[in-house]
Amino acid sequence: MVCAVNLAHFTFFAADMYPESVIQFFHQTFGSAPAVVVRAPGRINLIGEHTDYNEGFVLPAAIDKAIWFAVSPRSDAQLHFHALDFQDAFLGQIKNLKKAENSWPNYLLGTFSELLKDGYQPGGVNVVFGGNIPSGAGLSSSAAVESGMLFALNELFGFGLDRPTLARLAQRAENNFVGMNCGIMDMFASLMGRKNHALKLDCRSLETEYFPVNLPDHTFILCDSGVKHQLVDSEYNTRRRECEEGVDILKTIFPEIHSLRDATPEMIFLEKKRFRDVVFQRCTFIAEENERVLNACNALKNNNLAGFGTMLYESHDGLQHAYEVTCPETDFLVAETRNDAAVLGARQMGGGFGGCTLNLVRRDAVSDFQKKMQTAYQSKWKNELKIYSAEITNGVETFVAE
């Protein structure tokens, strides 16, 4: 599953401050310019939810909300980290890596731990980082932190690691050191994103393919329900067991099936009587969602945005009724868009039970869309609706000041 951890300590909201503020703080703190400045983006997942742990396909993209790093090597083995946005610092030693009492340093320390396990020898570093990825919105600030730190270390110490390898190391850092059993999609999206393209990731082989996202007249808008993913861990485990139960049944009829990635909706429907109703629903959704990812890629390739938008609605319907991982607030947000001519499609994004909805909106109608949605949400739920734009950008990259 995607990294759904709620990083309350990653509160990166200071828009338009980066990277200048990170560079300036580094200079003030360490008395010199950083050796490397790195931008590590967050991500959206256009379509393909809960397909990752079923060895299926996902379609993420890097976005223009990012974490910025200013980094220089030290002459010793000390680690000096400064988290600019919440004004906190951490001092440690490479030779004595252990989990910090505060959570945030562990996302950096884990990258050193995994490099050392593979025989690489990073030296001490001075680090300042901060960014504008909204907290708790499901845009993968944790993956951006790990991916950006690894990219910077790779640049500084000349390890020569390619981006897929860095993504695997970033995942291991979160799995092994932070202790979050997340998948690899977020790291792949952050490291391997390409401007104006979506990245189709095969979660079985980790093969990737890019598809153009041409949006001269439309843009992606995120509506943040403000509902935290309170049930996601227990319900996630239940969904996994239900999918595994379905695979066990299908294997007895179709020996070639190793995961729901190998099943078609037709196969599942033919054997419907063998499944518990809930397992039938779960398996049908996954098989259909995998097909939707592939169809969405073709729609993007052919610049069929209307068809792509329809698939977003279909995905949400499946998440709501068959996989049952939405919540009343996100269902409401999607329902509010269905009769809006300026919206081509919308769906809940992420693991479920809260978070953001992803909306494909006509650019000239964004302001009206925002006002309408915020007014409706306030009236219904008595809560403020936060709204973010999301332009598709390149993955992790170095920054050179002009």
Catalytic residues: 186
Residue 113 CB-half CA count within 13 A: 21
- Angle between the 185-192 and 141-157 helix axes, to the nearest 10 degrees? 50
Question: CA 237, CA 24: separation in Å to the nearest integer?
Answer: 45
Element housing 89 (H / E) = strand 88-93
Omega cis (within 30) before 19: yes
Q: What is the Cα–Cα distance from 137 to 298, expressed in whole angstroms?
A: 28
Q: What is the CA radius of gyration of the chain?
A: 21
Count of alpha carbons within 13 angstroms of residue 50, beta-carbon side? 35
Q: Which helix (H) or strand (E) holds 170?
A: helix 163-172
| 325-329 contacts, C-beta under 8 A, 24 or more apart | 325/49, 325/50, 325/235, 325/239, 325/351, 325/352, 325/353, 326/352, 326/353, 327/225, 327/227, 327/352, 327/353, 327/354, 329/225, 329/226, 329/227, 329/354, 329/377, 329/381
Do 171 and 183 touch, CB atoms closer than 8 A? yes
User: Distance between CA 275 and CA 296 in Å, rounded?
Assistant: 29
Residue 379: CB atoms within 10 A of its CB come to: 8
User: Cα separation of 2 and 140, whole Å?
Assistant: 9
